[in-house]
Structure 1
Amino acid sequence: MLKVLLINSVVIFFAAYLLEGVKMKNFLTAIGVAVLLGLINMFIKPLIVFITLPLTILTLGLFILVINAWVLMLIDKLVDGLEIKSFWWAVGYSLLISILNSILLKVF
């Protein structure tokens, strides 16, 4: 569990460093974002996905990208050291986080 939190924090921090439209204050902020993202993905996101299931099926799953971007923009409003400039930066950030997490969780 701690290993996954650390990997997620590193990925969140590194992805913010790579993207021009996403700013992260420091690594401690990345840890807070990782914890909040994990909690939202565990408790709130399943409800949102269930409610939007018809739209997700209609778009062949692409609406999940919108949900992920929305969750990141919500976290942007809740966490002081994170700044995401627009919805499209949130989509890109979400994709980059997902790809890097998948790679690092398989490696470690």
Structure 2
Amino acid sequence: MKLIVRWLLLAAALLLVAHLYPGVTVASFGSAMVAAFVLGLLNTLVRPLLVLLTLPVTLLTLGLFLFVINALMFWSAASLLEGFAVTGFAAALIGSLIYSACGMVIDVAVEHLFARE
């Protein structure tokens, strides 16, 4: 149940990103749900490999290169899907920053909501 609630909230966050920043467009809530799922898959499967491969650059930039990796994941998800579009790398960077901030808030809220006392 926790996973489904988190997925729905992340899809809503993707719609919020599209509403706040004009460089990101999402066609519908269904497209946002698919995009949130694909983003989750990319972040789970591909991102760790990219982080490992770019570790020297990440260390050299004191971790700032991780923002580039997040933007690449956001941009790749948009290139794979029909109802989710990003106009360029700058839009992917800003969109991924907003989406990550929303994701952190959602994680805290979901943990608080499903906390066992």
Task: Flag the structure with larger Rg.
Answer: 2
2:115 counterpart residue number: none
Normalization by structure 2: what TM-score? 0.88
Q: Which runs of 5+ in 1 are unaligned?
A: none
1:48 counterpart residue number: 50
Residue of structure 2 aligned with 1:75, choices 68, 74, 77: 77
| Letter matched to residue 77 of structure 2 | I
1:28 counterpart residue number: 30
Shift of 1:105: 2.4
Shift of 1:14: 1.0
Structure 1 consecutive aligned stretches of length 4 or more whose deviation exceeds 4 Å: none
Measured in 1, the distance between the counterparts of 2:39 and 2:78 equals: 10
Measured in 2, the distance between the counterparts of 1:72 and 1:103 equals: 18
1:29-75 deviation per Cα after TM superposition (whole angstroms, max 9, x unaligned): 10001110111111111011000011001011110111111111111
Shift of 1:104: 2.6
Which SS does the other structure have where 1:61 is aligned? coil
| Letter matched to residue 35 of structure 1 | F
Measured in 2, the distance between the counterparts of 1:95 and 1:36 equals: 17
Which SS does the other structure have where 2:25 is aligned? strand
Which SS does the other structure have where 1:23 is aligned? strand
Which SS does the other structure have where 2:63 is aligned? coil
Measured in 2, the distance between the counterparts of 1:70 and 1:11 equals: 18
Query: Alpha carbon RMSD of aligned pairs, Å?
Result: 1.0
Shift of 1:10: 0.9
Aligned residues with identical type, % of pairs: 33
CA contact (8 A) 1:7 1:105 kept: no
Shift of 1:107: 2.6
